[in-house]
Chain A
Amino acid sequence: MTERPNHLAFQCPIPIQEYPTVLLAHGGGGRLTQMLIERMFLPAFHNPALETLHDGAVLEVEGVRLAFTTDSFVVSPLFFPGGDIGELAVNGTVNDLAMCGARPLYLSLGFILEEGFPMEDLWRVVRSIQGAAQEAGVEVATGDTKVVERGKGDGVFINTTGMGLIPSGIHVSPQRVRPGDVVLISGAIAIHGIAILSVREGLEFETTLESDTAPLNGLVEALLRAVGPQVHVLRDPTRGGLSSALNEIAASAGVGIVLEEVRIPLWDEVKGACEILGLDPLYVANEGKCLAIVAAEVAEAALEAMRSHPLGREAAIIGQVVEEYPGTVVLRSWVGGKRVVDMLSGEQLPRIC
């Protein structure tokens, strides 16, 4: 009998006494997700492409640079104000490619369906995928379908994998971030998260908010056309919100980032909902916003390029990269006091009173 090779350590890297089971927060995009990646996944699969820990990998194949990414969608409810799981599955992957500086080209589409899921709903999702792919200018080039027994899924889960082409001269990477660089956001934050919350069971509050889900490749193209070589980092701050994205950048670039709270675009209805629920909008998900860090000398041109695109009309300069406090995001609050904006630990839970 041959012994099965065990490349992993004999001991589980996430000690059982700490987390004997997977918690929801392990998928929340915050510290626990980070721990899972760093302690379990990275040691198991380590290679240079993976280790950049970007939303997508940049692969060089015979002189051509490709962006490659995958994402799974398990959103509830499946249909929400302003979108649905299908649209999200296309835009999410398209945006991950766009944040590598790539022109998205092809998607794969994997369905995990639950027995009993209404065919009419599936058709709605498929039509929505069709529309979103068309809008983003990508093609669904391959796919897969599985069905699980009733009760073993949540209607429909979708996985999409995407591939895109990175134009020459474009190098988007946290390693290029320098003190003095300027931080821009393409529009108001926290809209998607609050729109979804507003229709979750037990929390129906009246709002006309719709998810901001959108393909960002057009906006990114406009930005890259204007100031391409001076664009140092791009991110779509989805799960974990603006703060998680900025913390990741600050950590991997070894710089500090100072935000001006008063300059961060935030709609009144979103602000109101966050106040009532005790949520910090900096940690709430976005699905159609692009965070860019560019060289200071092109800041105004970058802002103008973003604002010239329909999805970037509310774009704003919200902060700056600094040499002090490396690896840390600092916020200058509304009233002028300063504090650290930390990475989210676990899910954001609404408060008692």
Chain B
Amino acid sequence: MKYIDEYRDEATAQRYVEAIRRTVTRPWTLMEICGGQTHTILKFGLDRMLPQEVTLVHGPGCPVCVTPVELLDKAIAIASRPGLTFCSFGDMLRVPGSHQDLLMAKAEGGDVRMVYSPLDALKLAQQNPQREVVFFAVGFETTAPANAMAVWQAKQMDLPNFSILSAHVLVPPAIEAILSAPGNEVQGFLAPGHVCTVMGYWEYEPIAERHRVPIVVTGFEPLDILQGLYMTLKALEEGRPVVENQYTRSVRREGNVQAQRLIRQVFEVTDRAWRGIGVIPRSGLRLREEYADFDAEGRFDVAGMAVEESPECIAGLILQGRKKPPECHAFGSRCTPEHPLGAPMVSSEGACAAYYRYGEQRIGRINGLS
């Protein structure tokens, strides 16, 4: 199948693994930012194909995982209101809040719907003028244009019953935070191809320069990842802290200018709390003053909720690449996809979910697998 099969070819993959083997002369630690990339790595067994000098740690690029529990509790409180339809991407439904997740709110009578686009939620609001329709606007820069478009259209249509609960986060401040943290071990990054399709990669150039790390914009297929790793390792070995673009079939340096304009028109940059990590300055998006009517937090009084997090969950360390999921004492025992203590165990982009699903929890039992 075009655009899929050619990026999954075994012979080419072996050639890249060989090239990586020849390039690497010492240990390196690389981080892939995006949870989608983490899943490709584990789903196709790429981590098991690499030479042992290369350590992959997994980054914070799982929007579901970094959404603060307080916001999730607000979402659940809003979703439980009568006369209201709460729309969310499927990923978000099983993420544990303090006491519940959205699927439980649904089982208890909340009208929670899974949608594939914020524009579907907008359509629901138009079709059901007597109901409030709230969309859970989660995501990095990738989903921001569509969410901005939904709000922009709602304003054009003067739609009184539509609002969003915004939990938008941005990648560059997160990379900056990881690199600035004391004890950081990450030496190079695979930057997220989808985010860069929207935003371009010019924002990463000053970061690479300031922290002397190579950053390679990388796609999501197995060969994309292997090529991205090869480019990053080559830059590291040659001592070149550059930003390079592996994902040329989708990403340009300036990105999608029109989409960026729309994001800026509707959203503004704000400080944002990341679940398990804490507040990162200027790392989120909130609705601008002109669009404040469409802010669900303003529309529904859900402030002042007491938040409870599992004291055992080390999601924050996982999301910063400081620990790997199997290093968590609860992993696979007290924390499973059926009983998640934290979001990375249930999100389809979560690192813990990837390790659990693709078998790392059984590594002891099946260590013959290589």
Chain A residues in the interface with B (C-beta under 8 A): 18, 21-25, 31-32, 35, 202-203, 262, 268, 271-272, 275, 277-278, 324-325, 328, 330, 333-342, 345-346, 349-353
Contact = CB atoms under 8 A, between A and B. Distances in A.
Given A339-B42, A345-B338, A351 B222 contact: no
A23 B91 contact: no
Interface stretch (B112-120, B294-302, B320-328): B112-120
A324 B366 contact: yes
A202 B43 contact: no
B366 A340 contact: yes
Contacts of B348: 278, 349, 351-352
Given A328-B362, A337-B46, A22 B107 contact: yes
Contacts of A18: 339
Given A202-B116, A203-B116, A352-B349, A335 B366 contact: no
A342 B359 contact: yes
B116 A349 contact: no
Contacts of A341: 359
B13 A336 contact: yes
A351 B116 CA distance: 9
Contacts of A325: 362, 365-366, 368-369
A345 B42 CA distance: 17
Contact of A342 (B9, B114, B358): B358
Interface string B35-67: 010000011111111000000000000011000
Interface centre among A35, A262, A350 (most CB of B within 10 A): A350
Interface stretch (B138-146, B208-216, B261-269): B138-146
Contact of B4 (A21, A271, A342): A271
A352 B359 contact: no
9 contacts: A21-B107, A23-B103, A328-B366, A330-B359, A335-B8, A349-B114, A351-B36, A352-B92, A353-B143
Given A330-B369, A340-B358, 12 more contacts: A24-B103, A25-B103, A35-B338, A202-B116, A333-B43, A333-B45, A335-B44, A337-B47, A337-B49, A338-B369, A350-B89, A350-B114
Contacts of B9: 334-335
Interface in B307-350: 336-339, 348-349
A188 B36 CA distance: 26
B256 to A, nearest CB: 14
Contacts of B104: 21, 23
B91 A352 contact: yes
B11 to A, nearest CB: 9
B362 A338 contact: no
Nearest to B142: A353
Nearest to A334: B8
Interface in B1-55: 1, 4, 8-10, 13-14, 36, 42-49
A8 B359 CA distance: 35
A352 B337 contact: no
Nearest to B367: A325
Contacts of B89: 350-352
A18 B99 CA distance: 11
B91 A345 contact: no
B338 to A, nearest CB: 6
